[in-house]
Structure 1
Amino acid sequence: MSLPDSPDSPRAPAILVGVDFGLPHFDGELEELGLLAQTAGLEPVVRLTCKRRAPDAALFVGSGKADEIRFLAEQHGAQEVLFDQALSPAQQRNLERHIGLPVNDRTLLILEIFAQRARSHEGKLQVELARLQYLSTRLVRRWSHLERQRGGIGTRGGPGETQIELDRRMIGEAIKRTKERLEKVKRQRHTQRRQRDRRDTFNISLVGYTNAGKSTLFNALVKARAYAADQLFATLDTTTRQLYLGEAGRSVSLSDTVGFIRDLPHGLIDAFQATLQEAADADLLLHVVDAANPGHPEQMAEVRRVLGEIGATHVPQILVFNKLDALDSERRPRLLQDTLELDGQQVPRLFVSASSGEGLAALRTQLAATAKAALPPESAAAASAPFDEAAP
């Protein structure tokens, strides 16, 4: 599985499969999985859903449904099958043998997209660690490229060492090396944060569900050129710029972070700990919400869940309901600025359009008032000092 070289490149046909176990967030139309598949260079040709009380231990969907998937794959010329839920290594192998096609799950799909989208050295290391940890549970020779990394004493395997043991040792060593390199990058980020703290800079981080418009809002606020597109995970690398707020008479530090998504693989959360730490260490979170998406309440809940995992629930928030221009007149709010109750607290909410600029003046005023209240007057000069940072 790989991203296409260009938008005009042919896309491999794929079958999307979702199993309804009675959970409230089940995507009956498989819309999000379809967007992920298209981002990964695949073209969904069939969307198949079924209901089960529990996963089948061997085939996840049972033998009858697996036969149906195989028949549909032959009928539509599908080259891959994608499941909306995570598969165990045994279920994945059994399905591939039964269907006769590569079978992947939502977790690997997200990992592959992350691997293609990471641009910075840190981002590539984080994704590589997550992929290695995921593949370590699936010892089916999916990382034969690691053979090229062998060299020196003790890499050919001792007497009686099976191939699977050799694979496990190879991938374990690769995980250890990647963790060591990530730790070095983490120390560098920590040094950068300490420099910002010495300047008494007010730190703001943009967080939100993927494709909510965080990068577009970031660009509109700081006049930057961070990559932004109407697609999932358009950007993965944290970028920080200074935002001058005239009403507060000082600058603040604004960071654009990676987007969240439902069932974000835990390996990615762990691997991106250094990047996500920007949110946990922030003085204020701008929680960007896609107001035009009917499922935005569930997306907001997922963002709050991930924030809880990284220890950022204590950070004050401002809700920014973006894509106001995409709302029809019936759904357009009467007030563009109000409050919304979250976890028992009233949180400021503003409706904006990052693309058209509507509501951004009010957002700047809200940010200026928050920053002015948080920073003492004597630190204004230090906060206004020039500073510009991009992820290494």
Structure 2
Amino acid sequence: MLEKVNAAFEKTVLVGIITQNQSEEKLVEYLDELEFLTFTAGGEVVKRFSQKLERPNPKTFLGTGKMEEIHAFVKDKNISTVIFDDELSPSQQKNISKILDCKVLDRTNLILDIFAQRAETSYARTQVELAQCQYLLPRLSGMWTHLERQKGGIGLRGPGETEIETDRRIVRDRIALLKEKIKTIDKQMSVQRGNRGAMVRVALVGYTNVGKSTLMNVISKSDVFVENKLFATLDTTVRKVVVKNLPFLLSDTVGFIRKLPTQLIESFKSTLDEVREADLLLHVVDISHPDFEDHIQSVNQILQDIKSNDKPTLMVFNKIDAYKHLTIDEDDLITEKTTKHYSLEEWKTTWMNNVGAENALFISATNKDNFEEFREKIYTSIREIHVTRFPYNKFLYPDYKDAVED
């Protein structure tokens, strides 16, 4: 039975495929995340469609029968938007739009739209517009008549909303102009980073919506925007923090996500530079999320892509207050125990064995559970970096020489 849709939201359906490389269970996880993305963008999911295929149809992504089924549902339920979990080629998007006769988006387009909503500063808006233009450029053929039919809504914020007459030449010129603008701002931000001196830099990294901004507020006693939606933070926030007698700079960066559009990685280069130039990374993980191990892998992959995977890193497992696990009755000899049945103590043992007890912490930023242990570990890690950078600072390290001699 379909749920009643909130009139304030766009009625949407989600589409994904099951392949040799993507099981049904994995597709459900991706569609759950896609539904949260849709909600963040202002849509409400009415139904999900999936199909088992060896590979996507090069013309329409799905088979003919499934496309007809979706078209009938879209027409019957007056659906305004169909969102595909995978990135569609320009020709696929054009063909599907003709068949379904409604707005067709893919995951990349949806993420770009959320970024367009969330961008607050001129710099963030410039970065997002650049990514949007790079995404739209190969899709211009037939795009504008489609946009004229569908005014506003999810996926249509930014350059495509008002510049209906834009052609490839104008978009290319716009891309060149935006790149120059970003290059100028990047130089300014590089100078700003250089002016911070030799202070130790710590960067919060992690999947989107894991509690980085909440942790930033607690550590720095600042007021960074926090919301239970994806990509609540786009602009990098940097705060000077002092733990005991040690000052350092703490930055909160944009959250990562699976299948993060390459256009965003490129346009948000300066934001990611905060990660590249950090001395210590705090990799924040939402341990209450059932797919948190996949999230860790996604973040590690992006860190590898931006050549920051070899930096000293503390794994900060957040939201322990919300962690729940499946229990197995002692007399149950049939059910196989998996990681979904792990207690928090078992996870602690597992991850501390994997990354070392000194590099894994389990906290709740909201309730400040284990926060003193967290502060102590931060202090110890930063102190080690300080010692190599300021070896003769007797005020900060009165016992340093004695410790070295010992």
- Counting only pairs closer than 5 Å after superposition, residues 119-138 of structure 1 correspond to structure 2 as 119-138=120-139
Compared CA separation, residues 347 and 176, structure 1 to 2 (3 A): farther
Residue 339 (structure 1) shift = 2.5
Gaps spanning 5+ residues in structure 2: where?
1-5, 148-158, 328-342, 397-406
Partner residue, 2:382: 371
- The Cα of 1:367 is off from its aligned counterpart by 0.8
Deviation track 1:53-94 (CA, whole Å, cap 9, x = no partner) reads 111011000211110111121232211100000000110110
Higher relative contact order by CA 8 Å / sep ≥ 6: 1 or 2? 1
Preserved contact between residue 240 and residue 255 of structure 1 (Cα < 8 Å): yes
Residue 285 of structure 1 corresponds to 281
Cα distance in 2, alignment partners of residues 9 and 187 from structure 1: 46
Once residues 48 and 242 of structure 2 are traced to their aligned partners in structure 1, the CA distance between those partners, rounded to angstroms, is: 48
Match of 1:233 in 2: 231
Within-5 A mapping of 1:89-108:
89-108=90-109
Matches within 5 A, 1:256-267: 256-267=252-263
Amino acid at match of 2:200: F
Q: Secondary structure in 1 aligned to 2:352?
A: strand
The structural deviation recorded for 1:147 is: 4.9
Q: C-alpha distance in 1, partners of 2:111/2:347?
A: 37
What letter matches 2:368 in structure 1? G
Answer with 81-90 or 19-28: which moved more: 19-28
Deviation at 1:205, TM superposition (A): 0.2
Distance 1:55 1:282, change over 3 A: same
Question: Can you list the C-alpha shifts for 1:37-62, whole angstroms capped at 9, x where unaligned?
Answer: 11111110001111111110110002
- Distance of 2:38 and 2:163 partners within structure 1: 29
Give the distance between the partners of 1:227 and 1:144, measured in 2 at CA.
28
What is the deviation of 1:334? 6.4
| Distance change >3 Å, CA 317–CA 9, structure 1 → 2 | farther
Contact 1:219 1:226 in 2 (8 A): yes
1:185 is aligned to 185
Structure 1 residues 347 and 83 mapped into 2: Cα distance closer, same or farther (>3 Å)? farther
Shift of 1:310: 1.1
Distance change (3 Å), C-alpha of 1:39 and 1:340:
farther
Q: What is the alpha-carbon distance in structure 2 between the residues aligned to residue 347 and residue 67 of structure 1?
A: 56
Deviations 1:20-51 (A, max 9, x none): 22325733251001000111111100011111
Give the Cα separation in 1 of the matches to 2:213 and 2:162: 35
1:223 is aligned to 221
Q: Contact (CA 8 Å) 2:93, 2:104: kept in 1 or not?
A: yes
Identify which range, 352-361 or 14-23, moves more after superposition. 14-23
2:364 corresponds to which residue?
353
What residue number does 2:243 align with?
A: 245
After superposition, the Cα gap between the structure-2 partners of 1:146 and 1:45, relative to the gap in structure 1 and judged at 3 Å, is closer
Distance 1:15 1:57 in 2: 21
| Distance (whole Å) between structure 2 residues aligned to residue 60 and residue 380 of structure 1 | 66
Q: Does 1:36 align with 2:37?
A: yes
Q: Is 1:300 aligned with 2:269?
A: no
| Aligned residues of 2:202 and 2:248 also touching (Cα < 8 A) | yes
For 1:21, which of 3, 9, 19 is the aligned residue? 19
Q: 5 Å matches for 1:56-135?
A: 56-135=57-136
2:181 counterpart letter in structure 1:
R
What SS does the corresponding residue of 2:290 show, helix, strand or coil? Answer: coil
Q: Percent identity among equivalent residues?
A: 37
Amino acid in the other structure paired with 1:312: S
Shift of 1:253: 0.6
Q: Tell me, which stretches of 5 or more residues in structure 1 are unaligned?
A: 1-7, 149-162, 383-392
Equivalent of 1:341 in 345, 350, 354? 354
Query: How far off its partner does 1:19 sit?
Result: 0.9
Runs of 4+ off more than 3 Å: 142-148, 334-338, 377-382
- Report the TM-score when normalising by structure 2: 0.82
**1:156 counterpart residue number:** none
Structure 1 CA distance, aligned partners of 2:289 and 2:223? 25
**Aligned mate of 2:320, from 318, 324, 331:** 324
Q: Distance in 2 between matches of 1:85 and 1:24?
A: 11
Helix, strand or coil at the partner of 1:339: helix
> What is aligned with 1:172?
172
Shift of 1:360: 1.5
Rounded to whole Å, the distance in 2 between the matches of 1:360 and 1:74 is: 53
Aligned to 1:386: none
CA contact (8 A) 1:203 1:252 kept: yes
C-alpha displacement at 1:230, in angstroms?
1.1
Q: Does the 8 Å CA contact 1:205/1:279 hold for their aligned counterparts?
A: yes
Amino acid at match of 1:368: Y
State the 1:116 CA deviation.
0.6
Give the number of the structure whose residues are more often helix, by fraction.
Answer: 2
Q: Contact 1:130 / 1:267 at 8 angstroms: preserved in 2?
A: yes
Q: Which amino acid aligns with 1:363?
A: F
Q: Are residues 110 and 130 of structure 1, via their aligned partners in 2, closer, same or farther at CA, if it must alter by over 3 Å?
A: same
> What TM-score, normalized to structure 1?
0.85
Query: How many Å separate the matches in 2 of 1:335 and 1:301?
Result: 16
Q: Equivalents in 1 of 2:393, 2:233: separation in Å? A: 33
Q: Which string of whole-angstrom CA distances, capped at 9 and with x for unpartnered residues, describes residues 334-389 of structure 1?
A: 686972526xx88711000010000121111001001111113545879xxxxxxx
Which residue is 2:151 aligned to?
Answer: none
For the 8 Å contact 2:16–2:50, the answer to whether it is kept is: yes
Q: Paired residues, what number?
A: 354
